[in-house]
Amino acid sequence: MDLLHFPYLRPMQPILLHIESSTDICSIAVSRGEEVIGFSETREAYQHASQMTLLIDAAIEAAGVSLAELSAVSVSMGPGSYTSLRVGFSTAKGICYALDKPLITVPSLLALAGGMAKAIQVQSISSSSSLLYIPMIDARRMEVYRAVYSHKLDALAEPEAVVIDGDVFNTYLEQEKHLILGGNGAPKTEEVLAHPHIHFVPVLASAYHLVPFALQAYQEERFVDVAYVEPFYLKPPNITVSKKKFL
């Protein structure tokens, strides 16, 4: 039977809301199946708390759906900015509690690596087993959060905080690997990491990149406990102690 002639018999595609708040820029996407049908993003850095609900409203309106129609909510789980991640998680949990929707978490660096891999394909750069994707999220100074993924996006090195110097990727370069670096932590490393086998792609964290991973998790019913799940901070927050003396 041809389902094209019986649209009411087609399987329903899940409608997912995606929240990316691991870096300085916050973005929201709404997807139906694999297709992004609504998107919004901040233009100023670290405006998550004031703009998050406005961005969600804008993405939902652009998608032409309502919050009640959502099948689930996905949120970027970190590592990344401590405060930004908390805003994203608080918002995602609030929606799930209010509407009784399941919650999905997507590793921030994996989603970023997926976006980098897609950009490489768009640019028609040949992908092979010698390619490694190294997404980098800015920490502070010359420190980044990074992970290492194969050309098939298998994890080869778990997320960690590293200080960038000229030798940080020698292990992979000695194996004749081609390293694809992206994310908001990559630009500040370009001078330090000059090497013919190191390539930079202008890809940043975005709710767009959450879509395929969240969809797969939804199909496999890999939901998290809304009450107890927390962001993956990797490092404790950088909190300074006031030097003021109190009487």
Are 141 and 192 found together in one domain? yes
Are 91 and 158 found together in one domain? no
CA–CA dist 148, 134 (Å, integer): 5
Are 41 and 20 found together in one domain? yes
The residue ranges of the chain whose pLDDT is under 70 are 1-11, 122-127, 237-247
Q: Is residue 64 included in any domain, yes or no? A: yes
Are 93 and 119 found together in one domain? no
Are 132 and 86 found together in one domain? no
Domain count, the chain: 2
CA–CA dist 64, 129 (Å, integer): 41
Q: Is residue 3 included in any domain, yes or no? A: no
What pLDDT sits at residue 43?
Answer: 81
What pLDDT sits at residue 234?
Answer: 84
Dig out the tokens for 77 from the structure.
Answer: 């789980």
Are 157 and 75 found together in one domain? no
Q: What domain range includes position 151?
A: 109-200
Write the DSSP string, 49-88: HHHHHHHHHHHHHHHT--GGG-SEEEEE--SS-HHHHHHH
Are 91 and 210 found together in one domain? yes
CATH number of the domain enclosing 22:
3.30.420.40
Dig out the tokens for 9 from the structure.
Answer: 């018999």
Q: Residue type for 59, please?
A: A
Are 86 and 160 found together in one domain? no
Q: Where are the beta strands (DSSP E) in the chain?
A: 15-20, 27-32, 35-41, 72-76, 103-106, 131-138, 143-150, 155-163, 178-182, 198-200
Running DSSP on this structure, what letter comes out for residue 217?
H
CA dihedral (229, 150, 117, 47) in degrees, to 10, reads 30
Dig out the tokens for 31 from the structure.
Answer: 């997807």
Are 82 and 141 found together in one domain? no
Are 149 and 137 found together in one domain? yes
What pLDDT sits at residue 38?
Answer: 98
211-219 vs 108-122: helix axis angle to the nearest 10? 120
- Give the C-alpha distances (Å, rounded to integers) separating 61 from 2, 67, 75, 224: 32, 10, 19, 27
